[in-house]
Amino acid sequence: MADIYQNVRIPTSNDSVYKDECLYSFDSPLSENGLFICMSTFHGVGKDHVARHCHLNPGKNIFLHISRRRIPVPVDPNVEPTRVTKMAIGVEGGFDANGPKRFTFEERYAIYIHPNVIIPYPDQASTLPEHVKQSADAIIAAESAFLKEERALMNTTWNGEIRQESKHAQTLEQLNNDRKIPPNGWKCEQCDLKDNLWLNLTDGAILCGRKFFDGTGGNNHAVDHYYKTRYPLAVKLG
């Protein structure tokens, strides 16, 4: 009998693990049916797209299923806000550590073998081959591809555990365009949003933050600006 797990790989730091959002839809681990991460390609797909993924990727039908629940944290005005968790940054934009919305997340995992086998993980991990367990653990621990991209864009202000000098800082061009940055009263130049703003260090543009798949966040103007201009560095204002 062929080893059904033969295509399961353990992601390395060179692999991009797409565990935040479906490749084809807006499904995420927070969606009702969670997200299925292929344990061979590390692409995430929503429930409705699992069959399509398997059709396009023969033999790659083993998934880590991630289901995430948002649990509001009661706000005690006497207590200093806790630092945003890495996970919260990935799904919420999280930089808004002092904002009104604060959550913790509970995640549940399973190994899903399309079309019909579900193995709760790690509860029934003992039934799995070693490399499948290692793959699941590595996917759970992996920095999401989304976060990697975010860090590449916003390197100088990253507030997480890893902080390094951006390669762009050495060669950053700053345009002499007479733009003055006021000390306060900022708003997005394109949509007038007043929070979650980013200052582009090349041209001084002030634009709003990323729009997240659950509809929260800004209107994505800073990121759009980056894709248009490729000006690589921005800092969070306020």
Note the residues at the interface with Zn ion (CB under 5 A). Answer: 188, 190-191, 193, 208, 219, 221
Q: Which among 148, 156, 146 is positioned nearest to 199, based on CA atoms?
A: 156
Q: Which is nearer to Zn ion, 191 or 235 (CB)?
A: 191
d(CA 214, CA 35): 14
Q: Cβ of residue 26: shortest distance to Zn ion, in angstroms?
A: 20
Q: How far is the CB of 150 from Zn ion (least distance, A)?
A: 17
Give the nearest distance from C-beta 162 to Zn ion in angstroms.
28
Nearest distance in Å: CB 205, Zn ion: 10
Shortest distance, CB of residue 207 to Zn ion, whole angstroms? 6
Give the nearer residue to Zn ion in terms of CB position, either 36 or 213.
213
| Closer residue to Zn ion in complex, CB, 53/210 | 210
Residue indicated by tokens 């864009």: 153
Q: Decide whether 162 or 235 has the Cβ nearer to Zn ion.
A: 235
Q: Tell me whether residue 136 or residue 193 sits nearer to Zn ion (CB atom).
A: 193
**Closest CB 220 distance from Zn ion, rounded Å:** 7
Tell me how far CA of residue 172 lies from CA of 25, 155, 203, in angstroms. 36, 13, 11
